[in-house]
A and B are shown apart, each in its own frame.
Chain A
C-alpha cells in the first residue's frame, strides 16, 4: 500500500477541477464558499488510501486470464491483443475512506450535497490518477509501457468484474468492501486495471469502439478501428 502524498498544490488543483465541473467562476459566491469549507473539512477528515498488485495476463478465448480471474471485456481483450512483449495486468484500488462518507451524512441541502459529491468524485479520481502515475513509473523502470485505467461497469466490462479485482487485492486492508451487488464501500472508491507490456500501442479501447456519442469516450473525433 502507498499512502498518497497530498500537498498544497493538490488542494489547489482539486478546487480548480471541482469548480470547473460545477460551472466555473460563474458559480455563486455562496456555493464557492461552500466548496472552500468542504475542502477544509476534507483536508481534516479524509485520508485517501491506495492499493495495487501486478499479475501476469494471458489471452484466453476472447478474454484476459489472470491468476485472480477472467477479465471479461472484448474491448480490453483487443487492447491486450495489440500489446507486444507479454502482457501484465495491474489491479488497483483508490479510496477516500469512511471520512468522506461521514461528511456526506451531514449534508441535507441538495445544492450542498452536489458540491461535496463533486469535490469527492474529483478527489478520488485525482488519487487514482496518482496511483496510475506510480504504476507507469514502475513499468518504465522495467522498460515497459502502461495503458490508461479501466473500471468494471464501464465500456463492455460488466460490474461483476469487481470480483476479479477484489480477488487480486486485499481490499479490506484499506477499509474497502464489496456488497453482493458488486457495489463498493466507501462510496468514493475507484477500482480498475491497467495493462502493462513492452509496447502498448493503444492506451484506450475507444479506438475499437464505434460508439461516437459515448459520454466516457476518451477520443474526440478519431474514427474507430473496426
Chain B
C-alpha cells in the first residue's frame, strides 16, 4: 500500500472512530497516525469531521446531547494527545471568552458549550460561573476576544446579561456576543443587545460562524 493511500485510510478510520463508546478505537487510530507522522492539522480535521458526522446524525434523530458529548469527550481526548506532539492550535486567532453571569451557579451547560468550542479549535478562556461584569470586560480586553459567550440558567440572573453586553460593547465594539440558557429566547437575546442566541450545543458552531460572517464549515 502506498503512503498516501495508507494515510487516507487511517484518517478515514480515525474519523469514523468518533462517537463510538469510549476512546479506544480513536486512540488506536490516532496512535498509528502519529507513528507515521501524519501532520497534526490533518488529524485535527479528521477528528472534527468525525464529530460533525455524529452531530448531523444526532440533529436528525430524537436523541442528541448525551451522545454528542461522547464524541466531544473523544475529540478532546484526541486533541490532547495531538497537542502532546504539536501544540499549534487550528485557529489561535479565534479567541473566545465564556462564563456564567453573576449570581448563577449553574455551569454544566456552559461547560458543554466551552468543550464544543475547544473541540472545534477555538481558543477558549473559561471564566467559570458567577462572573461579574467587570471580569468579563477585563477578560475580553486582555485576550482580544473575538467572541463573548454568556450563559444564565435563571430568570433572575439572565437580566444581568444586558449590563455586561452594554459594557463590553462600549470598550470592545468588534467583539461578537452570543448568549444562551434555559430562560432565554431569540427575542430576549436580541432585546439584551446580543448578536446571536443559541439553544443547543448541537447548533452552537453554526450559529457562531453565522454571527462571524463565516461559511458554515466545520472548523474554527
Contacts and interface: CB of A to CB of B under 8 A. Distances in A.
Contacts of B102: 181
A214 B66 contact: no
Contacts of B66: 22-23, 27-28, 31, 111, 114-115
B104 to A, nearest CB: 8
B182 A181 contact: no
Interface stretch (A5-13, A58-66, A151-159, A167-175): A151-159
Contact of B156 (A26, A110, A158): A158
Interface stretch (B41-49, B57-65, B83-91, B140-148): B57-65
Contacts of A158: 156
Which 5 pairs of residues, A with B, have the shortest CB-CB distance? A30-B21, A111-B69, A23-B63, A26-B63, A183-B105
B64 A23 contact: yes
Q: How large is the interface on B (under 10, 10 to 19, 20 to 34, 35 or more residues)?
A: 20 to 34
Interface string A194-226: 000000000000000000011110000000000
A182 interface: yes
B155 A24 contact: no
A113 B108 contact: yes
Nearest to B181: A215
Most chain-B Cβ atoms within 10 A of its Cβ — which of A111, A158, A183, A213?
Answer: A111
Contact of A111 (B62, B70, B157): B70
Contact of A113 (B62, B111, B155): B111
A66 B22 CA distance: 53
13 contacts: A22-B65, A23-B67, A24-B63, A26-B62, A28-B67, A28-B70, A29-B21, A31-B66, A111-B66, A114-B108, A157-B156, A159-B103, A214-B155
B63 A27 contact: yes
A211 B183 CA distance: 11
A166 to B, nearest CB: 15
B73 A181 contact: no
Nearest to B153: A153
Interface in A5-47: 22-24, 26-31
Nearest to B182: A215
**Interface SS, B side:** loop
A187 interface: yes
Contacts, number: 84
B157 to A, nearest CB: 7
Contacts of B154: 153-154, 159
Given A23-B66, A181-B103, A111 B73 contact: yes
Interface of A: 22-24, 26-31, 109-111, 113-115, 117, 152-159, 181-184, 187, 213-216
Contact of B183 (A23, A184, A215): A215
B105 A154 contact: no
A31 B67 contact: yes
B115 interface: yes
B72 interface: yes
A206 to B, nearest CB: 13
B108 A117 contact: yes
Contacts of A28: 21, 66-67, 70
A153 B111 contact: no
Nearest to A109: B73
B185 interface: yes
Contacts of B156: 152-154, 156-159
A109 to B, nearest CB: 4
A226 B108 CA distance: 36
B155 A154 contact: yes
A101 to B, nearest CB: 12
Nearest to B184: A215
A44 B35 CA distance: 44
Nearest to A35: B66
Most chain-A Cβ atoms within 10 A of its Cβ — which of B72, B154, B156?
Answer: B156
Contacts of B111: 110, 113
A157 B62 CA distance: 35
Given A27-B63, A181-B102, A214-B183, A110 B72 contact: yes
A114 B65 contact: yes
